[in-house]
Homo-oligomer: A and B are copies of this chain.
Amino acid sequence: MPDKPSRRDGRRRDQLRALRITPGWQPSAEGSALIEMGHTVVLCAASVEEQAPAWRRGRGAGWVTAEYDMLPRATASRRARDREAGRIASRSQEIQRLIGRSLRAATDLPALGERTVHLDCDVLQADGGTRTAAITGAYVALRQALAGLVNDGKIGRIPLRCAVAAVSVGLRDGSLLLDLDYAEDAAADADFNIVLTDAGDVVEIQATAEGAPFGRERVGEALALAARGMEPLFAAQRAARR
C-alpha cells in the first residue's frame, strides 16, 4: 500500500480522519462522549439502570444494550424522524444491534451485576462511518459510567475485559481505503465494518459487495489494514479516561 496521498481530502489510504473525543459532553448522563471523526459527529451517552432486563433477571449478570438514531438534519437533505412512521428504520435497528453486541463483547457481564447499561448513540452530523464512530465513542461513555459505579462503591473494579473500537474499510478500483467519508462510501465497490479489541482480535466483521463480488483474499487484507489503522482510536479512548 503506497504512502503517497491518494484521496480527495489528501489522506493516505491507511489514514483516519481528524479525530476528537470529548468525554462527559452530556453531564446529565452517568457516562457520555462526543466523538468527531472528520465531519461525522456522534453523541454517546451511557445510562445505568439498577436492574437487568426482565428476560435476564435472576442470573446474577448484567446487560449492555444500545440505541442509534440520527437528527433529521444530520445529513445533506432532511430525513423524517422514525416516530413519524411509528417504527424504527431497519437500518437503525441493524446498527444498534451491532453496537450492542460489540460493547457486550468487551464487558464482563457477571462482574457488572444485575444492572443494565443503555448506550444512546445519536448522530448530530453524518459524513460516513457513523456506526463505527458510535462504537468507538460508546466505549468511552460506557467506561465512564462503569468507573462511576466503582467510585460509588457498587462494584469493586471496572468490568471490562478489553477496549473495543471500530472503523470502516472500503474497496475501490482494487485498492483498500481506511475510514471512508460519505462520498467515498457511496463510490466503494465493497464496504467493510470492522470491530476489533485493543489486542487486535475480532469482535465483529461485516463485509458487503456493493458492486461485483470480490476475491476472498480481500477480507484478510482489510482486517490487517483496520488493525493497523485503529491504533489512534484506542489511544484517544485511553486519553479520554482522565
Contact = CB atoms under 8 A, between A and B. Distances in A.
Interface of A: 26-29, 32, 39, 43, 45, 47, 49, 67, 69, 71-78, 81-83, 86-88, 90, 93-94, 97, 101, 105, 118, 120, 122, 124-126, 161-162, 190, 196-197, 199-209, 212-220, 223-224, 227
A contact face: mostly helix, strand, loop, or mixed: mixed
A9 B133 CA distance: 37
A88 B76 CA distance: 25
10 contacts: A27-B39, A67-B81, A78-B120, A87-B87, A87-B88, A90-B97, A201-B216, A203-B213, A205-B205, A206-B207
A72 to B, nearest CB: 5
Nearest to A122: B71
A72 B43 contact: no
A219 B207 CA distance: 11
A14 to B, nearest CB: 16
> Can you tell how many copies of this chain the complex includes?
6
A120 B83 CA distance: 14
A213 B162 contact: yes
Given A93-B90, A125-B27, A219 B218 contact: no
Contacts of A82: 81, 83
A194 B208 CA distance: 10
Contact of A94 (B93, B118, B203, B212): B93
A160 to B, nearest CB: 13
Given A78-B118, A125-B28, A199 B220 contact: no
